[in-house]
Structure 1
Amino acid sequence: MLEHGGNLRDAAKRFGRDDWVDLSTGINPHWYPAPEVAGNAWHRLPEPDPALTAAAAAFYGAPQMLPVAGTQAAIQALPRLRAPSRVAVSAPSYAEHAHHWGGHGHTMTLTPYAELSDAVARHDVVVVVNPNNPTGAVVSAAQLLQWADQLAARGGWLVVDEAFGDTAQENSVAAHTGRPGLIVLRSVGKFFGLAGIRLGFVAAHADLLRDLADLLGPWTISGPAQQIALAALSDHAWQSDTRTQLAVHGERLRALLASHGIQSSGTPLFQWWAEPQPEAFWRHMAERGIWVRLFTQAARGIRLGLPPDEAGWQRLHTALSEWNQR
């Protein structure tokens, strides 16, 4: 399996400490306060709840959606729904897309964001992470819809991973997924901080959602996860307050890095930069109990998420100061 953030057991084993500030994932550290679930959620087979699908469609602005066991489930399944195709995956971006499109008979090409327009004319499927993970780069909704039309005209797909899109809904194209060939992935793991319930949604044309549901099979989302997600997606006050707080905290992180000479880019949930010495920076932080995301392939650099509390912010500030003084 590919390496991801959040692997604190590995960190503890390697560096011999248990007092970690985990900044490796970009997940909101102030997660939605999950309500107590009904007792029968643990007992009954988890049949799909139409209320959950309706709440997701309303929150994401999509005409119809399919709940999946995290967007990872859709990322792994979508390549199996097409005959061998020419596929361009935005690079750098979330590595699981390229990993899975590279199989199942497809010809996969990693494509820099600046070259995606040209790639649309030469490929059957184009995958774009928007906003990008890890860099935070954004493609406008207007541009994405133009690409979607070009691809759909010859039976192609545009797959848009909007897992980090909840703080920038204006860039979403989920509202346009009633048309064939446009597929949008959304996640409750990042903005809501509920990665542990393994739930995401796919917005697409009804025919594709039906095929995807058939491939994934029954009972893909647990009963407790459905109840918790329904509460989160329906809690408009929490959503509004959280967007405001994330904007403040995201700017604080950007400004903190800038004060230590680091010019970064990202979203309200994380910052990234092309660190000249990424391995050394990663080790420096780990030795101080701060777990960051190291990138050594297409994007050599560092990604940091938000500290969970003032003590975490202070530890990060101190570690950055010591990095500059080394």
Structure 2
Amino acid sequence: MTGFTFHGGRLAEAMAHFGTGDDRWIDLSTGINPHGWPGADRLAVDWQALPDAGGLDNLEATAAAFFGADPDHVCAVPGTEIGLRMLGDIVPGPSIHAWPSYGTHGEMIAGSRAASPADLDRERAGTVILANPNNPDGTMIPPATLLDWLNAPRDAASWLVVDEAFADVLPAISVAGHVHDTRRLIVFRSFGKFFGLAGLRLGFVLGPREVIAQYRRRLGSWPLSAAALAIGAAAYRDAEWITATRTGLADQAAALHALLARHGLRVTGDCPLFRLIEVDDAAALFERLGRASILTRPFDYNPRWLRLGLPASEEGLHRLDKALADG
């Protein structure tokens, strides 16, 4: 199962590995909202025109309002994966990254050292990179704690980099509103996870204006598609859908949690978009669910962990229930 342990969403590989069978595949491997923002199909996009600069300004201003940040400190990028990897050129090492977490965090700055989240507050030299909530265990660090780290005496060349890919479901933990020219704080936000439109490839970097200017120079004139500009701005303005979705995701996560508990599976990490379980042989459970056309996320660095995203429907929840019972 090695090919499935770096990123979720490898559905084509899963179909080749397990066979297609008669059942429609259920992808629980990504931690992405299975109920995407419903307005995308209603928006008219001019595919013949180059993306409009005014549209980019509008998107960034709308997103900034959603994040509680100043638009001058917000830059849209074609997915946070690209934004994170660009940072290594803008903020070179040394650095330390929380582990376990996203594999990208250990690759974005050459020579970055891994450390447990509990050890990060003792670091005073080098840039600190972490996710909040963390992936894959959902661990959350209170904003006040992060700001204490930021304000503690540190090496003059060090930054605090916070990947808030899952923060849209838990906005109270965000430090995006604290980004300022006087703080060595950089925050990343993802659009695709909460809004369920990961294929749009839209994300944001928030930082001091000197950092934002460097991103803009590297990204050039048309960093995003016209579709990303239109869909992103409209979705961030849909306050009614956002409020209802936060409530709905919490309810669906509770239902998944209860199902796992009924099967004696111990949840060791959680977020409204996923549950992390610990079992004796995660590889065997991954394979068993795969044979039932259900894709989950294993981890090569911990053979006891398996992460499950939210099923999109009651039918999906029932199929997961049955697959777990059939073991």
TM-score, normalised with respect to structure 1: 0.92
Q: Hey, what does 2:142 align to over in structure 1?
A: 140
Alignment check: 8 A CA contact 1:151 1:157 kept: no
Letter in 1 for 2:131: V
SS of residue in 1 equivalent to 2:42: coil
For the residue of structure 2 that corresponds to 1:40, the secondary structure is coil
The alpha carbon displacement at 1:13 in A equals 0.7
Change (3 A) 1:314 1:42: farther
Aligned partner of residue 95 in structure 2, secondary structure = strand
1:71 equivalent among 68, 73, 80: 80
Q: Report which stretch shifted further, 190-199 or 148-157.
A: 148-157
Identity %: 38
Alignment map for 1:1-326 (pairs within 5 Å): 3-17=6-20, 19-33=24-38, 34-47=40-53, 49-63=56-70, 64-83=73-92, 85-101=93-109, 103=110, 107-118=111-122, 120-121=123-124, 123-150=125-152, 154-178=156-180, 179-264=182-267, 265-297=269-301, 300-323=304-327
- Code of the residue aligned with 1:132 in structure 2: it is N
- What do residues 57-108 of structure 1 show as CA deviations (whole Å, max 9, x unaligned)? 111111231000111111110011134x22111110011111222x3xxx31
**Equivalent position SS for 1:58:** helix
Aligned to 1:191, the other structure's residue is in SS state helix
CA contact (8 A) 1:278 1:296 kept: no
Note the C-alpha offset of 1:293: 0.4
- Counterpart code for 1:38: A
Provide Cα deviations, 1:175-234, integer angstroms capped at 9, x if missing partner.
Answer: 001143101100111110010110011111111111122122221110111101111000
Q: Distance in 2 between matches of 1:45 and 1:172?
A: 30
Alpha-carbon distance between aligned partners in 1 of 2:108 and 2:255, rounded to the nearest angstrom: 36
Using structure 2 for the length normalisation, give the TM-score: 0.92
Which runs of 5 or more residues in structure 2 are unaligned? Answer: none
Q: Secondary structure at the match of 1:67?
A: strand
Q: Where in structure 1 are there 5+ consecutive unaligned residues? A: none
Residue by residue over 1:107-165, the C-alpha shift from the partner in whole angstroms, topping out at 9 and shown as x without a partner, is 311111121112x22x3100011001111011110111111223666231100000001
* Partners of 1:91 and 1:52 in 2: CA distance: 33
SS at match of 2:287: helix
User: Does the 8 Å CA contact 1:53/1:67 hold for their aligned counterparts?
Assistant: yes
> What is the CA-CA distance between 1:51 and the residue it aligns to?
1.4
**2: distance between equivalents of 1:43 and 1:243?**
35
Provide the C-alpha distance between the structure 1 equivalents of 2:237 and 2:158, rounded to a whole number of angstroms. 34
